[in-house]
Structure 1
């Protein structure tokens, strides 16, 4: 084929020259290329008909030996050589779609998008029922960020061959990429129905389940994939992430270390391993893992952010200089600058270079806010919807399905308000297990909120049974389990209705400190979009406080409010009152919470391993000249005495 960008006239000239030179196979291929773009091109049609009548090499049938030879080169991994052989064979056998399918794959692997797409299209043009080429073409479109274009191609493939597992899997991947998760799950299931030992489909389905916070299902799929393909490092990394989120840090570390040994060039393995080691308090081992990432890619922005606080003091200046250079480089991608900006903001704050710190933080926040996709529901809509359900008493009848368990302890509040500190103190008690941040309540609450007054007792029992099952599965025989998901403040009404004996602890912090702490931290999720804009952040904080005030009105004494500033000022007195609220006897060990060996999966991972410090109180004052939009947006009357003056 002529170059992908050639005009029809250029291709026609090349075809005529090939015919004059006696290269009939090339001439036929070029004329066919013209007819793909212009099916009624009379000159090309006549010339092609004349050449086909002549016969010769262009009409010799390709043998199985020819096909095997091409596949053997492809399997050797030399894609440049495989492309060359495929192009030679395409000239010899211009009517063989098999060749163009492989040509498309090799061009794609070599990064030649135009040639890959042209080859796949030609394969399908030659054989409109060639579902393997359709599947490969659709998969390639997803790889080059054209998932929306891939969907119809893959839909056609599964329609033509409903039992083709690979096409179903690729269609699932395409649907996931365009955020149609229900359809993605449907096609992963179909792929596995037709090919139960399809490890790649198990891995993809597990990843989707993990996204949907179905950690049990995700773990099962990843383990099943590894039963089939024991050395699949992608599945190992995914399983390690799920196990870590489930509090199984030791097993997660073991699996990731095995993956690293199998594929020492896989950056994601070392990033994930470093994160888990850091969460487990093994900072030197975490730093070692992050260093291996930088050996492969010295400019890996996420790793530079994660490791900056771990490097020895004598190395830090060099690392900061490197990060600063990347941050200022116009060629650095914006999303990398986001990571680098948050790293620099934290570093310069520690140096008391507050203006320089804010410049980096502000740019990082602005870049990230601009890059985030729109949310399906605004924060205001969520606040209004949930509050409205309880103002109208929509769930009053669900009390008949409430569960008497007093095992759950919900620690909630604004992010960065001290929830991790409070959880760590409580979880240090011998009668308590800290489960970390669970999405379970929010996931199970969603259908209840959707149904509103139409929700049934059966729906309520689905919530209570499902929540307790997830909460308790790793807890052993302790009395209480802490769920430290800050966003459960949205669910206080539902929790109080369905778990009347559960304990609810709300952490309250000066909103100026609280909001600025949010603004200077990177959250690896799209859910907290308000966090990256001062005006949005102030509005969210006001809505949170108004909601908590409303819960106090609707459910008097249901929530125990603990002031962050009081806790860091008099840890023992506040801890004693907290344990008394929980009905737990005093244990001196809670004062040594920072020595507790448990994984911490929050932005506070390093803070909770230190003794209580008070430097974070009124820290916003160091940045006061730059935070006027935030400060002016906070409702002082609403927040009452939460302000620390």
Structure 2
């Protein structure tokens, strides 16, 4: 999805988000023997130059060079592979790789490297079923190739199959013990499965060999509650920061974000806030407030209850959890997914991809309205069946989909599943927004660039959810994070009852369950609940005037009183 609320790729720091892109500094080559072939073609210097530009963050210049090479040699295997890899790992314009990928598969249909690149690309484009097929083909062709095993593990992680991923990575490391990218991906998988201490230890081992690797440092800081005397933090602050200040750009922004997260951990709240502000200033993003407001207004104005009639599937198996990031949704997901009859598809990209396949442009209200009004029943049935096939969990009566930004697509979802339940997770607006601002979210979250944009985006979300509650045929339950923290059992029972199921005591054992978490909240969800997680915005109050100006309608009794939903714009 376009600016604002997409479910997006791993950040440059290598955070273990359930995303669908490979970190650009981890895999150096998927196509085995590419450099040898490049030598034969006398293209090493040019390809090497393009790669150097990409690694330096000069993706526009690198992209131009790759395009020139492609124009000169449009059917050259090495060039095709290099350009596909560039879009997967540097430009993040994944769909641009698709035409080249089709040609590569035509030219080398039986090459493991072709299918490995296809698996990576399809995974990045959220085509997980296709990605899995290509990964399996690559494994069949080259079962002992560490690069292929790595890609297969990456696809497995995107599907929340962490044990499978760890199996592939273990095999890769048996074949090539120094396969650094497999070691780092193993640490990511360990974070996702809650084995934080083991992941931290593995990161320390990796940093012994290369203390400047920001992928490893980023993962370590994400998985650790940092103390001010932590040697890795001290090295980042005293050695890496001065070096990257000379480079600037995304490298500096990345380092500063990691320092900000660490500073917040050990209680330097003003310092952390200022560091996040600095990181955003180093690498500014432009949030188009007018465009996003128009996207919301178009749906609010043109979609009514009359648009929902006998179309789509009558299945009530899917359950969407929607809301803003940092609203406490991971905690609720883990509670519910511990129930014996509830499965979780995690942050599934399926609904978003299905919408894309209708040719609806990202954040284009007119396209969505047209799709909602014009989808015939037959097409709605097929789309619903596809969604169920892509998200269904074995043995589950209900399957959670926690892609929060599906709140933008609820009008479309209701055509496919008019009986499916929706859980709307809310948290105090100031707490939500401040937490969003102070996270290393991906570049797609452009609304977090500054506090004014953040407040504007929140108000649009609030307005759109108010509209859906009025017009959708679906049952919608609002769950407040603060209520969950105060009384998790009562709120858990309330949510389970809403899903039409009997209570399962296992829901209260969520911290020790086998459910996997691969979000920014991976560590936090396994910590004890504390009411100190509420009203955290007060730590940063001196900085929040622009945000408060936007959110003021939600606090009619002042910011010391609970927020309401009476101030919708």
Change beyond 3 A, Cα 1:291–1:591: same
Q: How far, CA to CA, are the matches of 2:292 and 2:308 in structure 1?
A: 21
Which residue is equivalent to 1:502?
420
Aligned residue number for residue 437 of structure 2: 519
Structure 1: tracts of 5 or more residues without a match: 1-76, 83-97, 118-141
Compute the displacement of 1:308 (Å). 3.2
| TM-score, normalisation: structure 2 | 0.80
What is the CA distance between 1:234 and its match in structure 2?
2.4
- TM-aligned CA distance change 1:179 to 1:243, over 3 Å: closer
- What secondary structure, in the 3-state scheme, does the structure 1 residue paired with 2:531 have? coil
| Aligned position for 2:317 | 407
Distance 1:550 1:504 in 2: 14
Contact 2:485 2:531 survives alignment (8 Å): yes
Question: For 1:196-250, what per-residue CA distance to the aligned partner results, in whole angstroms no more than 9, with x for missing partners?
Answer: 2122222222211011101121122122223223333222222112111212111
**Aligned counterpart in structure 1 of residue 479 of structure 2, from 562, 571, 584:** 562
Is contact 1:233–1:262 with CA below 8 Å preserved after alignment?
A: yes
- The aligned runs of 1:181-260 (5 Å cut-off) are 184-260=97-173
Q: Distance in 2 between matches of 1:349 and 1:392?
A: 44
Partners of 2:42 and 2:289 in 1: how far apart?
45
What is the CA-CA distance between 1:380 and the residue it aligns to? 5.0
Query: Quick one: which of 433, 453, 465 aligns to 1:548?
Result: 465
Change (3 A) 1:513 1:269: same
- Cα deviation 1:146-179 (Å, max 9, x = unaligned): 3324335434534xxx6x6556555655776767
Contact kept? 2:311, 2:415, Cα under 8 Å? no
Where relative contact order (Cα < 8 A, 6+ residues apart) is larger, the structure is 2
For 1:598 and 1:379, the matched residues in 2 are separated by 37
Deviation at 1:460, TM superposition (A): 2.0
RMSD: 3.5
Is 1:148 the counterpart of 2:58? The answer is: no
SS of alignment partner, residue 615 of structure 1: helix
CA 1:193/1:625 → structure 2, altered by over 3 Å: closer, same or farther? same
Secondary structure at 2:104 match in 1: helix
Partner of 2:387: 467
* Structure 1 counterpart SS, 2:272: helix
Shift of 1:366: 2.8
5 Å-filtered alignment, 1:73-152, equals: 102=40, 104-105=42-43, 107=45, 113=49, 146-152=62-68
Q: Whose helix fraction is larger, Structure 1's or Structure 2's?
A: 1
- The SS at the match of 2:423 is strand
CA distance in 1, matches of 2:532, 2:154: 33
Alpha-carbon separation, structure 1, partners of 2:404 and 2:434: 17
- 1:367 is aligned, of 266, 271, 282, to 282
Q: Give yes or no for contact 1:192–1:202 (8 Å, CA) kept in 2.
A: yes
Cα 1:264/1:315, change in 2 over 3 Å: farther
> Partners of 2:502 and 2:165 in 1: how far apart?
34
Does the CA contact (< 8 Å) of 2:296 and 2:464 recur in 1?
Answer: no
CA distance in 2, matches of 1:562, 1:543: 19
CA displacement at 1:527 relative to structure 2: 1.9
C-alpha contact (below 8 Å) 1:507/1:563 kept by paired residues: yes
Decide which of 406, 409, 429 is 2:339's aligned counterpart: 429
Give the counterpart of 1:344 among 232, 237, 259. 259
Alpha-carbon distance in structure 1 between the residues aligned to 2:87 and 2:181: 23
Does the 8 Å contact 1:390/1:493 carry over to 2?
no
Aligned to 2:501: 584
| SS of structure 2 residue aligned to 1:185 | helix
Shift of 1:309: 6.1
Q: How many residues in Structure 1 have an aligned counterpart in Structure 2? A: 511
User: Is 1:609 the counterpart of 2:526 in the alignment?
Assistant: yes
Q: Which residue in 1 is equivalent to 2:489?
A: 572
Q: Does structure 2 retain, via aligned residues, the 8 Å contact 1:428–1:589?
A: yes
Per-residue CA distance 1:351-394 (angstroms, 9 max, x = gap): 322222222222223334x2x5x78xx56535533652463248
Contact 1:165/1:192 (CA < 8 Å) preserved in 2?
Answer: no
Higher mean C-alpha deviation, range 281-290 or range 169-178: 169-178
Could you tell me how far 1:103 is from its partner in structure 2? 8.6
Q: TM-score, normalised by structure 1?
A: 0.71
Deviation at 1:106, TM superposition (A): 5.6
1:235-314 to 2 correspondences below 5 Å:
235-308=148-221
Q: 1:551 to 1:482 in 2, by over 3 A?
A: same
Contact 2:226–2:265 at 8 Å: present in 1 too? Answer: no
Partners of 1:454 and 1:626 lie apart in 2 by: 47
Change beyond 3 A, Cα 1:635–1:402: farther
Residue 102 of structure 2 aligns to a residue in which SS?
helix
Structure 1 residue 260: deviation in Å? 3.0
Q: Which piece of structure 1 moves more, 305-314 or 183-192?
A: 305-314
- The 2-side partners of 1:210 and 1:466 are apart by 17
Q: For residues 235-269 of structure 1, what are the alpha-carbon distances to aligned partners after superposition, in whole Å with 9 as ceiling and x for unaligned?
A: 22221121112121111012112223434444332
1:532 aligns to what?
Answer: 449
Residue 519 of structure 1: how far off its partner (Å): 1.1
| CA separation of 1:101 and 1:591: change in aligned 2, threshold 3 A | closer
Partner of 2:231: 318
Q: Secondary structure at the match of 1:321?
A: helix
Secondary structure, aligned partner of 2:399: strand
Taking the aligned partners of 1:639 and 1:346, their CA distance within structure 2 comes to 32
Instruction: Give the Cα separation in 2 of the matches to 1:518 and 1:589.
Output: 31
